[in-house]
Amino acid sequence: MTADKLAALVAVALLGCVVHTCQASYGYPNPLPPIPSPTPPTAPALTLDFYSYSCPNAEAIVKEAVRNATDNNRGIGAGLIRLFFHDCFVRGCDASVLLDATTANPEPEKLGIPNFPSLRGFEVIDAAKAKLEKECGGIVSCADIVAFAGRDATFFLSNGVVDFKMPAGRYDGRVSFANETLRDLPPPFANVTVLEAMFKAKGLDLDDMVTLSGAHTVGISHCSSFADRLPADPSDPTSMEPALASSLQQRCSRGGDPVVVQDVVTPRDLDRQYYQNVLDRKVLFKSDAALLSPQTLKAVEHNAKNPGKWERKFKDAMVKMGNIEVKTKANGEIRKQCRFVN
């Protein structure tokens, strides 16, 4: 598929939401910004045990920071997995999502609608970076810390079941813009056509999309991200299960924008329960319910019914995602502080 055809496909798929203003309840602009042609994925020279000589304790330091955070709050672990995803999908895995607002750039990625105020885990990255700078200053990139933290959070939240190595060697980017988050990050109201196209734009296929969606088995969501699915619609075969919809409507009607767990069955564990929840219509987002589509239903059923299958695929998909548009020394740097460029 050519870049022009892919961009056209995404535009057409989003048209239904634009016409019916379905993104209004999510705080997204109407219409959405145009989606550009995809950037072909690079072939970076990432390697395992990248810091074995230059900073031998690098991965252990990150793992300890993640352990401390998840021991106190497993939700932070879910936030770290999401942080990795949201970093890689915008300008590649370059820690651009970590950059704070400055006078020169008052609206970085972390302030984009898909990220603010829901994205979390920044303080864990800061803690790991501070220790790494004391141990081996100027060696470990923030982008690699984000990747290691996503992997380690996966390990702890799966109770050690999903254990894998993450290649490293990324450099940190110097650019971060909030408006690019709307363009690159799949919205919670996306259908399968949109999801497939947006993942393809990053070098990931349909099965990668289904696999990575399984991260919704942990973490929390603001009610505003699924408000248009309440109450349940009996005429819609993908509508939320009525009892869950009724319970959530009660919770979400209390004022403000409350948060609820994404997986009502095993909310603390990263496991394959998400796929059974999809089949049982006990998921929050339209983008979750969209996996009941013919293109993805078989993969959902296989992941739900076969122990170990999703876990193995999730390891591979996380590593594959970590290769998106990686920066090198030629177009990146090793930041001294993860929140600011050097």
To the question of whether residue 217 is assigned a binding role by annotation, the answer is: yes
Unique residue bearing structure tokens 């996380």:
318
Count of Cβ atoms closer than 10 Å to residue 4 Cβ:
9
To the question of whether residue 94 is assigned a binding role by annotation, the answer is: yes
To the question of whether residue 316 is assigned a binding role by annotation, the answer is: no
Contact 129, 338 (CB under 8 A): yes
Indicate the helix (H) or strand (E) that contains 278: helix 273-279
Angle at 109 between CA 104 and CA 113, to 5 degrees: 120
Unique residue bearing structure tokens 């300890």:
64
To the question of whether residue 96 is assigned a binding role by annotation, the answer is: yes
Name the H helices within 158-258.
179-184, 192-200, 206-213, 242-252
Residues serving a catalytic function are 86
To the question of whether residue 152 is assigned a binding role by annotation, the answer is: no
Q: Name every residue whose Cβ is closer than 8 Å to that of residue 339 and which is 6 or more positions away in sequence.
A: 98, 99, 100, 122, 126
Give the span between the Cα atoms of 237 and 325, in whole angstroms.
38
To the question of whether residue 92 is assigned a binding role by annotation, the answer is: yes
In the DSSP assignment, the letter for residue 230 is -
Report which residue type is found at 250: Q
Q: Which residues of 139-161 are buried (b: 16+ CB within 10 A; e: fewer)?
A: ebbbbbbbbbbbbbbbbbbbeeb
To the question of whether residue 271 is assigned a binding role by annotation, the answer is: yes
To the question of whether residue 20 is assigned a binding role by annotation, the answer is: no
**Binding-site positions for substrate:** 186
**Binding-site positions for heme b:** 216
**Binding-site positions:** 87, 90, 92, 94, 96, 109, 186, 216-217, 263, 266, 271
